[in-house]
Amino acid sequence: MNLTKAVITAASPKQRSLPLQRLVDRDGELKSAIRIILDETVSAGIDEVCVIVHPGDGPAYEEAAGDVGARLLFVEQPEPNGYGNALLCAKEFVSGEAFLHLVSDHLWVARGGGVCAQRLVEIAQAEAASVSAVQPTREHSLPLYGVVGGQRVAGHKDLYLIDTVAEKPTPTEAEQSLIVPGLRAGHYLCFFGMHVLSAGFMELLEQALATGEDVSLAGALSSLASRERYLAFESPGQRFNLGVKYGLFQAQLALALSGEGRDEVLTQMIELLAQRELAGE
């Protein structure tokens, strides 16, 4: 599996402004969230990136991308017809090849200063299969994520063969069909916001569209699991959803504590807590 292309979805009306917000990256530079995501993508060995945007948003994203912009192609999603439809807008760009897919409303922080997407790409290439990054997540967060069920691959502590995919299940639904042996009670394998998808994935999206079905990512991934070997990789990194309350703050704090400004940030936090203690707050 040769991976040179990536698709980033950024057209959702509820999410389109999130990637344009700015944070201080690990290296101490002020960057837009989309630029940080693009740096993640390029570090994984990707040469070309298609960004699916809301009509008219291309110029703002191109400016926010900075000097990475030369690698980008912007494709507009004419109508907000869902996640699967947004991905299908990149069909011509993908052109029958496997591709890396990342969402634009998440940021990722790898342990030890690595790159989460790079490890996912390595797994997909080694296994010659579609792979979704996942993370064990408490059941109270299920309404935020897609969830997979399956069995651990023999000889691997962090790799699972997927047999079930559900979009934002209730705890009751998850308990009935998505429990994975070996996970802590009340935890499920939820999507991490990045996937490597095989060349046939776009065909599954097209088939759903042709039959009048809802073109959802979870539905297409469920079909993928029944058609070919589809894996989940338990990423050791952390994902931060920029669209939830305090999500941007949590992402910024994680980036700061994993970068060159760690000591400065810790000192400022201690001073702030000490001031509040002295003030009796």
Element (H, E) at 36: helix 33-43
Q: Say which amino acid occupies 89.
A: C
Whether the predicted pLDDT of 40 surpasses 90: yes
Closest CA to 181 of 202, 160, 211: 160
Q: Are 37 and 104 in contact (CB under 8 A)?
A: yes
- pLDDT at site 214: 61
Where is pLDDT greater, at 212 or 265? 265
Whether the predicted pLDDT of 63 surpasses 70: yes
Specify whether domain 5-278 bears CATH 3.40.309.10: no
- pLDDT at site 213: 62
> What is the C-alpha to C-alpha distance for residues 108 and 129, in angstroms, rounded to an integer?
22
The mean pLDDT value for 183-210 works out to 92
Round the average pLDDT of the chain to a whole number and report it: 92
Whether the predicted pLDDT of 31 surpasses 90: yes
The mean pLDDT value for 154-183 works out to 93
pLDDT in tens, 68-78: 988 999 999 99
- For 168-206, give one letter per residue: b (16+ CB within 10 A) or e: ebeeeebeeebebeebeeebbbbbbbbbbbbeebbebbe
Indicate the domain borders of the chain.
Answer: 5-278
